[in-house]
Structure 1
């Protein structure tokens, strides 16, 4: 569970470990501690990274509710459509997302790795393994958001041989490294091994960390399968063929979630924006409402709150003068997501099963796609506490790749970043025609990535230009490496 009473130490260590110039002198100052231990670094780095991923609460930089959830048509805006719903964003959006994931998350996860490895000053294989998992998760977000990123030479500003202008690595290189790092993390994590403190994700349950490491490895292997089939098949076969060595999620109890609390400042970010902050700018998108109504899907009652018993969504991209006319009739985001203690979700059992369903239908594993598909749907209903209609599978119909991705899109409601990534990768779900009244930027194209931050242009332009050359252009229409469409 979140514990922000420790965060002030995390902030202090961030001020140290984000620095480059004069680092050695700072680290030997007798008036400052020479080491901030992992038990204080870990909760700060986890919370800052997860909160940023889940959306953040600062206007113009809310990654989830002002970006991904709008672009993948889970939410829509009833006002200020130019804040994401019309595909327009400000530099603050992509600048601070980049900065936060690197400075708040990766710098501190890397410090834990360095401290905790065998020749570090605080050896502990379980801290090392946890930090490797979280470092991999954070890097995966960055590359899926931007494309090529500094990876091999990143977060080395305070290394013995510092790198101040890191090169950009291709997504293929990043994915290869992450798959290797997650395998190493699984090996480092020892059930019954050294104890850890400050673990606000799994409360020190090392088996669950191993399951998260391997489930995340499945996600990444499946995501790159269309580009590196042989490697992905080998990774999936290794994991699925040896569950005792490579455990994966086996129930919703294993879900990687940050458990928020009823009290500020440890409340959910949606709650901070919509309840504490009183912002009422968002409603359910017409796309998700229509899809769930057609399926008679009871998860709709969890996702949204109806008006006078009726569910209506707002088409995305409507100008404010039109969108505001829906205020008295459109469904709002459900209490499941807006209550203070609502969890912030990194990965679920349902997503894992639907990844495996896709892998099976693509021939990347030998399992039965329909079995994984039905189990994944069932797990999603269970996760959200909804009762699945007895005839739901009949309503959905026979399994297909499109239906697997449709159900993954539903199961990922709230996890807009992951739903957006899956849409950009596969083209599913097929979005309905744009409302004729909608007005979009970006040439009407649903954003495919975030632009690189302005700081890279001013501080690292030569390396940035080489990175841009790997995708052709730095805009919100460039296709990323794993794109299948």
Structure 2
């Protein structure tokens, strides 16, 4: 199934800023209604719930949490059919999922001139702006309601979700509108990425402290609305603290002193970090009345467009890693249907040739990971090789991360896996087109070697972290840009006319056409803050290695 041109959604993008205003308007309406409670006998509809009844059920704030969560990862919304799948596809799948090396495509959109070949579709790249508008409109509604009822716990959860979504958005583009959104302006100001990042940490500190201090005694008022933790405030505190560690590490090459400070604070905070599978932040892990459906199954099985990536094949098969059977299915290629075969990203695709390649092993109900305990162990391992006080040794954290990933994928770790000093990524062979064949780009092995230099240790950590992050393509792409690891196969067909060097690989998404049309002055400001032209080769703030 070819991705349809959703003209109605593209038109709806024009009203993203309107959504911010409406969020504030709804909050004011709720406030106004609460002021009229003394006159309930005159103006209350006996067939509809009163404001007090809605507040008792946490509906006024609660209904906004599923919207915020689905704005971070589009994974099911009421009555949408496949709209959420299409939203995920153009906001995440046809960018980060492929740029990260996790996935390849069996689609040939635009005659193979599209994001994957660096011939960017400037309408597709607007989808993340639309999602950010939904995220912030619902955040504004929660903020207004919690300001009225003084519920700092619910607002703290909203803060963490907001930062999760905004960090993904700014990591895609660089400078984006953020601080002025809550004012309701139709032309929100673009903020520098460093100022956005630095605003995250005090907000996270307040949210973590509130949730850790007060959350255990507060029950679970968000149980009906929280697709991730079922309203468990203590687990949200651990997630927030772990998010702080992730964002701190992102700054390791651009502001190492503050990166170290924030990372050490997170590692030592009494709220703790994600450390077991029970802590994992999984969208859809908790069944609530609001729908959840993993978009990757539709993209892979129904649309027949998303496939295993060639870099995944190279690394997992090279390591003889049994996690491959949890992630992907055997191919349907005649004569090769007992093998896992991936698609190299950014190639000249003929659909009929690449549809038989390995599909994703995912069901509609498979939860989508926001953050896993395995990632945290690898972050701690990297901090340790940087000389930061992470509370343990790099080897201990590295091996704990691998064990945690195998547990998360419900696959038994081979007895000799951690001691394997011989297995390496393997060469890639494309059975449909030999022109896409390529040698492995890395010789990194699995077993920890304390005598290795810093770069070899880092490559070993990030390669295993990359395997464990699947299918969170956005985080994997960000870490590839930050560290250069793992060594992902570059594209073959480069439609950028030399703007994005093939071996450098894409560093960001360009700003969408609609932003130029409706917020052009601020886009110009954004480009000044970015410090380079609006193309896929200009590096974002933290991309300094």
1:109 aligns with 2:136: no
- From 112, 128, 133, the equivalent of 1:97 is 128
Structure 1 residue 394: deviation in Å? 2.0
1:5 maps to none
Aligned residue-pair number: 451
Q: After superposition, what is the alpha-carbon deviation per residue over 1:273-302, rounded to whole angstroms, capped at 9, x for unaligned?
A: 344xx2112221222111111111111111
Q: Does 1:229 align with 2:256?
A: yes
1:57–1:272 CA contact under 8 A, matched in 2? yes
Bigger Rg over Cα: 2
Offset, 1:52: 6.7
Per-residue CA distance 1:2-23 (angstroms, 9 max, x = gap): xxxxxxxxxxxx9995336994
Corresponding residue number in structure 1 for 2:426: none
Label 1:365 to 1:341 Cα distance change in 2 as closer, same or farther (>3 A): same
Correspondence for 1:465: 524
CA shift, 1:79, in A, is 3.1
Matches for 1:38-187 after TM superposition, within 5 Å = 38-51=61-74, 56-58=84-86, 61-80=89-108, 81-101=112-132, 103-116=133-146, 120-157=147-184, 163-187=185-209
What corresponds to 2:514 in structure 1?
455
Secondary structure, counterpart of 2:104 in structure 1: strand
> How far is the alpha carbon of 1:130 from its aligned partner?
0.4
Is the alpha carbon distance of 1:318 and 1:24 closer, same or farther for their aligned partners in structure 2, counting shifts above 3 Å? closer
Of the three residues 19, 22, 31, the one matched with 2:21 is: 19
1:236-255 to 2 correspondences below 5 Å: 236-242=263-269, 244=270, 246-255=271-280
2:292 to 243, 266, 271: 266
Residues 445-454 or 341-350, more deviating = 445-454
Residues 378 and 398 in structure 2, CA contact (< 8 A), matched pair in contact too: yes
Structure 2 vs 1, CA of residues 87 and 385 (structure 1 numbering), >3 Å: closer, same or farther? farther
How far apart are residue 181 of structure 1 and its match? 0.8
Match of 2:429 in 1: none
The secondary structure found in structure 1 opposite 2:63 is: helix
Aligned residue in 1 for 2:484: 427
How far apart are the structure 2 equivalents of 1:224 and 1:22? 33
Shift of 1:226: 1.8
TM-score (norm 2): 0.76
Q: 1:282 to 1:41 in 2, by over 3 A?
A: closer
Please, which moves more after superposition, 64-73 or 138-147?
A: 64-73
Aligned twin of 2:37: none
1:66–1:15: structure 2 CA closer, same or farther, 3 Å change rule? closer
Aligned to 1:412: 469
**What secondary structure sits across from 1:467 in the alignment?**
helix
Query: Would you say the 8 A contact 1:52–1:100 is kept in 2?
Result: no
Structure 1 pair 259/53, CA: closer, same or farther in 2 (3 Å)?
Answer: closer
Q: Is the 8 A contact 1:283 1:331 kept in 2?
A: yes
Equivalent residue, structure 1, for 2:9: none
User: Does the 8 A contact of 2:135 with 2:165 survive in 1?
Assistant: yes
In the alignment, the residues of structure 2 paired with residue 199 and residue 205 of structure 1 have an alpha-carbon distance, to the nearest angstrom, of 9
Q: Evaluate the alpha carbon distance shift between residue 52 and residue 179 of structure 1 in structure 2; reply closer, same or farther with a 3 A threshold.
A: farther
CA offsets 1:190-249 (integer angstroms, 9 cap, x no match):
22126422222211111100001000000001111222222122222222223x2x3211
Aligned partner of 1:477 in structure 2 is 537
TM-score by length of 1: 0.85
The answer as to whether partners of 1:61 and 1:93 remain within 8 angstroms in 2 is no
Judged with a 3 Å threshold, the aligned counterparts in structure 2 of structure 1 residues 376 and 252 are, in CA distance, closer, same or farther, namely same
230, 236, 244: which one aligns with 1:209: 236
Segments of 5+ residues of structure 2 without an aligned counterpart are: 1-15, 34-42, 78-82, 332-336, 421-445, 450-456
CA-to-aligned-CA distance 1:323-346 (integer Å, 9 cap, x gap): 643444x32211xx2x11100111
Match of 1:7 in 2: none
Q: CA deviation at 1:362?
A: 1.5
Superposed, 1:357-396 pairs within 5 Å as: 357-366=381-390, 367-395=392-420, 396=446
Give the Cα separation in 2 of the matches to 1:185 and 1:200.
19
Structure 1 Cα separation of the partners of residues 217 and 288 of structure 2: 32
2:463 is equivalent to residue 403 of structure 1: no
Question: Could you tell me how far apart the structure 2 residues matched to 1:364 and 1:355 are?
Answer: 11
